[in-house]
Amino acid sequence: DAGITQSPRYKITETGRQVTLMCHQTWSHSYMFWYRQDLGHGLRLIYYSAAADITDKGEVPDGYVVSRSKTENFPLTLESATRSQTSVYFCASSGAGANYGYTFGSGTRLTVV
């Protein structure tokens, strides 16, 4: 599991600020995903990427931007943070595609004040 790392683990930011969450994997997995986890909503897909330079929206993409210039990195940017984006964010990767198991990172707990 050390093959997928997220940073930072904890982040407090102010409303309106831009913040970037980092995700790095060492397996050269083609698929990478960003989820947010909130009480009562489970895990919701924000964005995913099938390969470098290919990204697509998930269930809750509004307010987020992603990029994938390199296979191993998949940063998630909140362009102008809002309190509703306070959540735990999980990055995940999969080697064979969306219909194989994911490996999750340790998560980033983001608080927007």
Partner 1 sequence: GENVEQHPSTLSVQEGDSAVIKCTYSDSASNYFPWYKQELGKRPQLIIDIRSNVGEKKDQRIAVTLNKTAKHFSLHITETQPEDSAVYFCGRDTGNQFYFGTGTSLTVIP
Q: Which stretch binds partner 1 (CB under 8 A): 12-20, 43-51, 60-68, 71-79?
A: 43-51
Give the nearer residue to partner 1 in terms of CB position, either 85 or 107: 107
Query: What does the alpha-carbon distance between residue 101 and residue 94 come to, in Å, rounded to a whole number?
Result: 6
Q: Are 79 and 96 in contact (CB under 8 A)?
A: no
Query: What does the alpha-carbon distance between residue 88 and residue 96 come to, in Å, rounded to a whole number?
Result: 26
Closest of 4, 9, 17 to residue 102, by C-alpha: 4
Query: What does the alpha-carbon distance between residue 66 and residue 85 come to, in Å, rounded to a whole number?
Result: 15
Q: Which stretch binds partner 1 (CB under 8 A): 17-25, 42-50, 65-73, 74-82?
A: 42-50
Exactly one of 1, 69, 83, 84 binds partner 1 (CB under 8 A); that residue is 1
Give the nearer residue to partner 1 in terms of CB position, either 5 or 13: 5
Residue ranges in 74-113 that form contacts with partner 1 under rule CB under 8 A: 90, 97-107
Q: Are 81 and 19 in contact (CB under 8 A)?
A: yes
Neighbouring C-beta atoms of residue 78, cutoff 10 Å: 20
Position 59 contacts partner 1 (CB under 8 A): yes
Q: Which stretch binds partner 1 (CB under 8 A): 22-30, 44-52, 64-72, 74-82?
A: 44-52
* Binding stretches for partner 1 (CB under 8 A): 1, 33, 35, 40-45, 48, 58-59, 90, 97-107
